[in-house]
Amino acid sequence: MDWRVIVPPTLFPNTGNMGLPVAMYAFDDKGFPLAVAVFVVMSMSQFVVGCITSSSRPLRGIFTTPTIYAIVIAVLLMAFQIKLPAWLANSVELLAGFTIPMMLITLGVALASIRARSLNIGIGFGLARVVVAGGIALLIGWLLGLTSQALGILVVMMCMPVAVYNYLFAQKAGRSPEFVANLVLCSTLTSFIYLPLLLSFVISHGQ
């Protein structure tokens, strides 16, 4: 199978549509910003890789992606401690309040529009990916000396199901979108089984 088909679903979990709501539910106010940081890094990486693998003009795709500009602007504002005017900050905060509900709606619409075949392949991939991703996240967290809470957030975020954007990029490129849809749907369904167990383990060891 073409590496451009299998690599993105392997690398990029759904840290946005599912990761942020789960992190908001499971971790306190101190933990949620860490989940946002993981989401930002994964989102930037996914759009860069997605543009490269799904477009005949990857550089043009990268420079015309609004998400990348938004991340760069946000990082610059934080790095130089620039405060937005009150009217602009309030507007951005108001729009940001809609983000998580909108992402959940988007996830539902996307999952409802795709059809899965060969469920055993999708389920096997989803479970295998969780084991590998969780192990790599534990290793990286140990090497970086992360606190128990930060390590738990990293593991949970990396063990999210396959991101819907992988299906959208595959559909745009015409590279086995049905297969990627199968991975997205099956990994999302299996997450309802393993995520509660994973959250229970992470939270109990993080306290």
Give the pLDDT band (50/70/90) at residue 146. very high
Classified as helix, coil or strand, 174 is: coil
Looking at the DSSP bridge assignments, the partners of residue 183 are: none
Q: What is the mean pLDDT of the chain?
A: 86
Percent of the chain clearing pLDDT 70 (strictly above): 95
Structure confidence at residue 142 (pLDDT): 93
> How far is it, in rounded angstroms, from Cα 128 to Cα 137?
14
Instruction: Name which residue leads in pLDDT, 134 or 167.
Output: 134
Question: Of 100 and 42, which is predicted with more confidence?
Answer: 42
Residues linked to residue 162 through DSSP beta bridges, in sequence order: 13
Half-sphere exposure of residue 167, counting CA atoms within 13 Å on the CB side?
25
The values of phi and psi at residue 57, to 5°, are -125, 80
Confidence of residue 28 (pLDDT cuts 50, 70, 90): confident
Q: Are 68 and 48 in contact (CB under 8 A)?
A: yes
Token code pair at residue 76: 């610059």
Cα 13 from Cα 163, distance rounded (Å): 5
Q: Across residues 87-93, what is the average pLDDT?
A: 91
How far apart are alpha carbons 58 and 66 in whole angstroms? Answer: 15
What Cα–Cα distance (Å) separates residue 180 from each residue in 92, 115, 128? 34, 10, 15
- For residue 174, the model assigns a pLDDT of 85
pLDDT at 24 over 80: yes
Predicted confidence at residue 58, as pLDDT, reads 76
pLDDT of 207 reads 57
